[in-house]
Amino acid sequence: MLTLTSPVETAAHRWPVGAKLAAVALGTALIFPLQDWRLVVGALLALALVYLALGLRFAAHGARMLSGLWPFFAILALWHLWQAELARAVLLAARMAFAVGLANLVTMTTRLDDMLALVERGLAPLRFVGANPRAVALAMALVIRFTPVLLDKMSQLMQAWRARSPRRVGAKIVLPLALVALDDADHVAEALRARGGL
C-alpha cells in the first residue's frame, strides 16, 4: 500500500505513534492563538531544525513533500501585499507552514498501518453503539492511499485535454474523473470481497 512514509529511516520512526499524534494536536493548538509573527516564525525555524537533526536526506525529502504549498503562500502574499499587511501575510503563511510541516513530519516517520491500528484502538468504544472501528480505519487507509492516485489521474486527464484542445481545461474533466474514481472504487471493492472483506 502506498504511504507517505519517508524511505529515509530516522530515530523518529521509532517514536510512539500516540506521542507523535499528540504532538501534532498540541503544536497546532498552541501555534494558532499566537498573534506575534516573530514567535510563529521562531517555531517554524525550530521545526526546520528538527527536520535537519533527523538528517539532510530526510530534510530534503520533507521539503519536497511540502513544496506543494507555494501557491497558497503566493496567494497569501499577493493578497496581503495588496492590503498593505505584510506582517499578517508572514503570520498566516508561517502558521500554515508550521501546521502542515508538523503533520508531514508525523506522516513521514509513521507507517500507515501503525497509525490505523492506533485509530482502530481509539475508536474501539464505538463497538458498543454498533460501529465497526476496523471499517473506519480501512476507510481512512483507502482515502490516504487513493488521494495521490486520483490526483495523478486528474493530471493525466488534464494533459490529455491540453494535447487535444487549445481551449482551457474546464469543468468538463469532472465527469471523466468521477467515472475513473467510481471504477477504481469498484475494483477495490471486488478485491476486498475476494479477500474476505472485513
Residue given cell 499528540 in the structure block: 22
Same domain, 128 and 180: yes
More reliable by pLDDT, 68 or 16:
16
Q: Which three cell numbers stand for residue 171?
A: 469543468
End-to-end C-alpha distance for the chain, whole angstroms: 17
Residue 43 is predicted with a pLDDT of 93
* Rounded average pLDDT over 155-167: 85
Query: Does 106 fall in a domain?
Result: yes
Tell me, yes or no, whether 102 and 25 share the same domain: yes
Looking at the structure, do residues 66 and 156 belong to the same domain, yes or no?
no
**What range does the domain containing 133 cover?**
121-194
| Same domain for 106 and 125 | no
How large a percentage of the chain has pLDDT more than 90?
11
Q: What pLDDT was estimated at residue 1?
A: 33
65 and 133 share one domain:
no
pLDDT tens-digit series, residues 57-100:
888 888 887 777 777 777 877 887 787 777 888 888 888 889 88
* 98 and 133 part of one domain: no
pTM score, whole prediction: 0.67
DSSP 43-96: HHHHHHHHHHHT-HHHHHHHHHHHGGGHHHHHHHHHHHHHTT-HHHHHHHHHHH
Q: CA 51 to CA 61: how far, in whole Å? A: 10
Tell me the C-alpha distance between 98 and 40, whole Å.
Answer: 8
pLDDT on residue 197: 67
The pLDDT mean for the chain works out to 83
- The total number of structural domains in the chain stands at 2
Q: From CA 107, how far away is CA 4, in angstroms rounded? A: 6
Q: What share of the chain is helix, strand, coil (3-state, %, to 5)?
A: 80, 0, 20
pLDDT higher than 80, residue 169: no
Q: What is the pLDDT of residue 3?
A: 47
**Structure confidence at residue 4 (pLDDT):** 65
In one-letter notation, the amino acid at residue 162 is R
> How far is the CA of 10 from the CAs of 7, 47, 105, in angstroms?
9, 15, 11
